[in-house]
């Protein structure tokens, strides 16, 4: 990853990229996050796994204040985003976000999708934005697609454009929310390969995923969430390969062998439906 030294950079001597403390989030009566504590250090890859409805997306959305936490604190890249006086746009610029849906502009080419925010938000001139955009299309293996429109690209290629778009903003860290869940199975591998390369380059990544092989091979840490709490957290060799908590085991059995799900199994994670959202 390119080192970005903006004039407003907050020093992070403790090496922490994301710190979430006692985070609660309710939607009306529904308490979705029930006291989450999570630290992601710079350069770390943390995968969040857990059943549908457990609060994974809400957690990610609280990290970049797409949702306002009900209580608790969230610090990102040295700035407390839950501080009412924070310049949230400045903090958000440091966070690359990749969702399940690619959200590309259909009327713009791949390269134009990469340059528009650079020009508007970072005020880069056209030539520089195109140069940086092309470099990032190269990083995701799509050099030859710069003039293609989203409709001319496969889902996997569109998702790689979305990753390149996020990278073009020089993020300090990246949040991924099930980036491969909407893809046909044969297209998942190319997207995961790009994410793996980013991880190898030292990018700080918080990734919600159901791709257990990715979590096992790439994550420094895996966090299992269920019903608004972190049930289990540790290295992938522990959480994925040798889970301690019965809820983690039940979940992993379902993900790793979906055909065998429901047989004699009662969701033990609470009142919500424990489907896997893919």
Which C-beta is closer to Mg ion: that of 101 or that of 135? 101
What strands, in cross-sheet order, belong to the sheet with 229-234? 95-98, 173-177, 204-208, 45-49, 221-226, 229-234
Chain residues that interact with ligand ADP, rule: CB under 6 A:
27, 30, 32, 50, 52-58, 277
Closer to Mg ion by CB, 58 or 115: give it. 58
**C-alpha distances in angstroms, 157 versus 128, 141, 151?**
23, 9, 10
**β 30-41/16-27 pair status:** antiparallel
Q: Which helix (H) or strand (E) holds 123?
A: none
- The verdict on 209 binding Mg ion (CB under 5 A) reads no
Which single residue brings its beta carbon nearest to Mg ion?
A: 57
> Which of 57, 180 has the CB closer to Mg ion?
57
User: What backbone torsions phi and psi does residue 71 show, to the nearest 5 degrees?
Assistant: -160, 170
Half-sphere exposure at residue 275, Cβ-oriented, CA atoms within 13 angstroms = 3
Nearest Cα residue to 276 out of 179, 210, 212, 227: 210
Instruction: Verify binding: residue 54, Mg ion, rule CB under 5 A.
Output: no
Report the nearest approach of ligand ADP to the CB of residue 60 (Å): 8
Nearest approach, Cβ of residue 278 and Mg ion (Å):
10
For residue 248, what are the contacts with CB-CB under 8 A and spacing of at least 6?
224, 231, 232, 239
Strand partners, 207: 47, 176
Q: Which partner from the list ligand ADP, Mg ion, none does 32 bind, CB cut-off 5 to 8 Å by kind?
A: ligand ADP
Among 17, 32, 55, 57, binds Mg ion (CB under 5 A): 57
CB nearer Mg ion, residue 97 or residue 110 = 97
Residue 55 binds: one of ligand ADP, Mg ion, none (C-beta under 5 to 8 A by kind):
ligand ADP
DSSP 106: T
* Residue count, binding to Mg ion (CB under 5 A): 2
Sole window of 53-61, 113-121, 223-231, 259-267 interacting with Mg ion (rule: CB under 5 A):
53-61
For residues 196 and 63, what is the distance between their CA atoms, to the nearest angstrom? Answer: 22
54 vs 157, beta carbon nearer ligand ADP: 54
**Binding segment for Mg ion among 49-57, 70-78, 90-98, 130-138 (CB under 5 A)?**
49-57
User: Which residues of this chain interact with Mg ion, rule CB under 5 A?
Assistant: 56-57
């Amino acid at each position: 990853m390119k080192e970005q030294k903006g004039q407003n950079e907050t020093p992070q001597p403790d090496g922490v990229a994301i710190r979430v403390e006692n985070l609660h989030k309710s939607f009306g009566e529904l308490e979705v996050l029930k006291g989450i504590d999570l630290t992601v250090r710079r350069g770390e890859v943390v995968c969040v796994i857990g059943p549908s409805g457990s609060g994974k997306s809400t957690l990610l959305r609280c990290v970049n204040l797409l949702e306002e936490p009900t209580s608790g604190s969230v610090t990102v890249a040295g700035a407390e985003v839950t501080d009412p006086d924070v310049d949230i746009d400045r903090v958000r610029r440091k966070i690359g976000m990749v969702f399940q849906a690619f959200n590309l502009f259909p009327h713009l080419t791949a390269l134009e999708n990469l340059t528009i925010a650079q020009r508007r938000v970072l005020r880069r001139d056209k030539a520089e934005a195109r140069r940086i955009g092309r470099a990032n299309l190269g990083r995701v293996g799509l050099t030859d697609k710069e003039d293609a429109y989203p409709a001319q690209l496969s889902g996997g290629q569109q998702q790689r454009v979305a990753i390149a778009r996020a990278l073009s903003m020089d993020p300090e860290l990246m949040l991924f929310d099930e980036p491969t869940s909407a893809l046909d199975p044969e297209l998942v591998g190319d997207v995961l390969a790009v994410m793996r390369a980013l991880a190898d380059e030292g990018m700080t990544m918080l990734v919600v995923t159901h791709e257990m092989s990715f979590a096992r091979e790439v994550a420094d840490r895996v966090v299992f969430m269920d019903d608004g709490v972190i049930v289990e957290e540790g290295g992938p060799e522990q959480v994925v390969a040798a889970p301690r908590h019965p809820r983690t085991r039940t979940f992993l059995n379902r993900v790793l062998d979906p055909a065998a799900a429901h047989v004699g199994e009662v969701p033990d994670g609470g009142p919500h439906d424990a489907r896997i959202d893919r």
